[in-house]
Amino acid sequence: MHSIVVVNKPKDWNIHIPEVEVVSAKSYLTDSKYSEIRNVRVYNLCQSYRYQGMGYYVSLLAEARGHRSIPSITTIQDFKSQSIIRIISDELDQLVQRSLSRLKSSHFSLNIYFGRCPSTQYENLSKQLYNLFQSPLLRAQFVFDDDKWQLQNIFPLPINQIPEHHKASVLDYAHGYFSKKRIRSINVSRPTYDLAILLNPDEKSPPSDKKAIKYFIEAAEEEGLRAKIITKNDFSRIPEFDALFIRETTAVNHHTYRFARRALAENLVVLDDPASIVKCANKVYMAELLSKANIPTPKSMIVHKGNTKELIPTLGLPCVLKQPDGSFSNGVVKISDALTLEEELHHFFGQSELIIAQEFAPTDFDWRIGVLDKKPIYACKYYMAKDHWQIYDMGPGRRVKDGAHETMAIEKAPPKIVKIAQRAASLIGDGFYGVDIKQFGNKVMVIEINDNPSIESGVEDLFLKDELYATVMKYFVQRIKLKKE
């Protein structure tokens, strides 16, 4: 397997290892040759993994390209989650106390290089922390509080912060690390027997309305599941359940992701799983993923500060700019002239290093195919809001207007639409997705793949009715049984 070390500046990486290529983050993100190669392991050693920064996109697009990224995008999110860090601190409590028992200070920082540490007394602790936060260079910070040591923080260690007296050991560890054939992942198991449905009672446009939630609860009972409503204040209750069904709008820097990640760590069945949330939340990832799979989309371009002048010649006007993590038509702007383009690019670059731009492809309606466990379960046509070019028209005061809808049996939807939806959803995983598709005669184009798709009473359930809710609950039952076995 080809190995690539990605750094902000290649000169910062002064460790020469045969058959390991060192490239800059900018080159990896923008040079087309890196999107075309296969069988690659990407070691992301960028100085920062801030949300939608260069380091973040290196791991995100590595996964879209089918490359093995270390750290993975879910690990990057775990670094930012105090709840995950508390879980890990509790799990490793005995090892932490034993390893740090001789220390006299109240604070301690542990540098971990490729899963190892120059101090033998911390070798086992370093290995366990690396197994849980797989990243080549780490720094773990501990604090002595309430008569015990606790993990306070863990984060990637920038190359330029490696102490001089550690560099000989780091070189030795690096040679061993890059020769490994695979990296072990951790698995946690804890079975229970209830279904939690995560809701935000104050959300204005939730993925399921109150009636739909009522139908889900009834269907759960029919299938032998005890369903309970939980909210963001119930994070500590996750271990009580066997499965988690997220029915509020998901986002990466959000409690929904933390709930999904905690549920996964506790070995619950999760819809939506954290990997699906991360992948579906970012339109840059989506564009790269669909392109690599040769799935037709509107003509698209990943925009960075170095190629903005190519946008109009490539896509023409009007075109559409999309905020990478927008949802429900938020963060999507139609551009009709060069001045507006310049203004919106300035605004978007204030939030993300990369932006997705697409040709403007107007239609009267979009198809939505619901896919669960790689099988299509419902088909809808969503018509554009009145006098608007999108399904949702975000009016003054955040008032949302939407267009008409038409729901039908999967068998009645065009086979080409259903087939491409299944293919697209399978690129993300085997969870629950809504695939949005535009149709121009016999030509179809995938717009995006959504995790956490809408199931509202009188809309998506219009044809299947109770059977739709039962199908979702049967998925949970089947997965629970598999875990028990």
pLDDT for residue 384: 72
Determine the pLDDT at residue 392: 57
SS3 201: coil
The CATH number covering residue 44 comes to: 3.40.250
- Do 412 and 425 lie in one domain? The reply is yes
pLDDT band at 186 (very low <50, low <70, confident <90, very high): very low
Distance of CA 340 to the CA centre of its chain: 30
Dist CA 262 CA 273 (whole Å)? 10
Say yes or no: 355 and 377 in one domain: no
Cα(279)–Cα(274) distance, integer angstroms = 9
Provide CB contacts within 8 A for 127, sequence distance 6+.
115, 116
Phi first, then psi: give them for residue 392, nearest 5 degrees: -110, 135
Kindly report the pTM of this predicted structure.
0.72
- Tell me the mean pLDDT in the region 334-353: 93
- The answer to whether residue 145 is domain-embedded is yes
In a domain, 234, yes or no: yes
Residue 56 lies inside a defined structural domain of this protein: yes
Residue 191 vs residues 12, 33, 56, 176, 195: alpha-carbon distances, Å: 46, 45, 33, 37, 12
Residues forming a β-bridge with 228: 196
Q: What is the pLDDT of residues 301-318, one digit of tens each?
A: 999 999 999 999 999 999
In a domain, residue 54? The reply is yes
pLDDT, mean of residues 357-384: 91
Distance from C-alpha of 80 to C-alpha of 456, rounded to nearest angstrom: 33
**What whole-number distance in Å separates Cα of residue 23 and Cα of residue 475?**
43
pLDDT tens sequence across 129-173: 988 888 999 999 999 988 899 999 999 998 888 999 998 999 899
Q: What is the pLDDT of residues 409-446, one digit of tens each?
A: 999 999 999 999 999 999 999 999 999 999 988 899 99
**pLDDT tens column, 200-237:** 999 988 999 999 999 999 999 988 899 999 999 888 88
Residue 367, CB-side half-sphere exposure with 13 Å CA sphere: 28
Last residue of a domain, one of 178, 203, 224: 178
Q: What is the pLDDT of residue 175?
A: 86
Sorting pLDDT into bands at 50, 70 and 90, what band is 330?
low
User: What DSSP element (H or E) covers 311?
Assistant: helix 311-315
Are residues 369 and 451 both part of a single domain? yes
180: confidence class by pLDDT, cuts 50, 70, 90? low
Please tell me which of 212-216, 240-244, 322-326 the model is most confident about, judged by mean pLDDT: 212-216
State residue 199's pLDDT score. 96
Q: What is the mean pLDDT of residues 336-354?
A: 93
Structural domain count of the chain? 5
Domain membership flag for residue 451: yes
The pLDDT assigned to 159 comes to 87
Task: Give, rounded to a whole angstrom, the gap between the first and last alpha carbons of the chain.
Answer: 34
pLDDT digit string, tens, across residues 259-291: 999 899 888 999 999 999 999 988 899 999 999
Question: For residue 191, what pLDDT band results from cuts at 50, 70 and 90?
Answer: very low
The answer on 453 and 421 residing in a single domain is yes
Chain centre to alpha carbon of residue 443: 29
Q: Is the pLDDT of residue 189 over 50?
A: no
Q: What is the pLDDT of residue 108?
A: 95
Q: Are strands 68-70 and 40-44 parallel, antiparallel or unpaired?
A: parallel
Q: What pLDDT is attached to residue 95? A: 93
Query: Quick one: pLDDT at residue 402?
Result: 65
Torsion of CA 100, 102, 103, 104, to 10 degrees: 150
Predicted confidence at residue 389, as pLDDT, reads: 58
Q: Are 34 and 87 in the same domain?
A: no
Beta strands in 192-249 (DSSP E): 195-198, 227-230, 243-246
Q: Which pLDDT score is estimated for 329? A: 54
Range of the domain at 376: 362-465
Domain boundary (178, 205, 230) is at 178
Sheet holding 227-230, edge to edge: 227-230, 195-198, 243-246, 269-271
Q: Which residue has the higher pLDDT, 331 or 401?
A: 331
Q: Does residue 450 share a domain with residue 367? A: yes
Tokens describing residue 25: 């983050």
Q: Does residue 86 share a domain with residue 55?
A: no
Answer whether residue 187 shows pLDDT above 80.
no
Nearest 5°: the CA angle 266, 270, 271 is 160
Query: What is the predicted pLDDT for the residue at 61?
Result: 93
Is 407 a member of any domain? Answer: yes
Q: 373 and 353, same structural domain?
A: no
In a domain, 286, yes or no: no
Query: For 438-477, how does the pLDDT look when each residue is reduced to its tens digit (9 = 90+)?
Result: 998 889 999 999 999 999 999 999 999 999 999 999 999 9
At residue 390, the pLDDT reads 64
CATH number at residue 315: 3.30.1490.20
Q: In terms of domains, do 392 and 457 share one? A: yes
Tell me, yes or no, whether 256 and 307 share the same domain: no
For position 203, which CATH number holds?
3.40.50.20
- 382, pLDDT greater than 70: yes
Q: pLDDT digit string (tens) for 47-104?
A: 888 888 999 999 999 988 888 889 988 888 888 888 778 877 887 889 999 999 999 8
Contacts of 299 by beta carbon, 8 Å cutoff, 6+ apart: 314, 315, 358, 359
Please give the single-letter amino acid code of residue 94: Q
For residues 49 and 72, state if they share a domain: yes
pLDDT of 85 reads 85
Q: Reply yes or no on whether the pLDDT at 36 is more than 90.
A: no
For residues 151 and 201, state if they share a domain. Answer: no
> What is the DSSP code string of 47-96?
S---TTSHHHHHHHHHHHTT-EEES-HHHHHHHT-HHHHHHHHHHTHHHH
pLDDT at 395 over 70: no
What's the pLDDT at 188?
38
Q: In the chain, what percentage of residues exceed pLDDT 70?
A: 92
Looking up residue 410, the CATH number of its domain turns out to be: 3.30.470.20
pLDDT for residue 80: 83
CATH number at residue 150: 3.30.470
Asked if residue 244 is part of any domain, the answer here is: yes
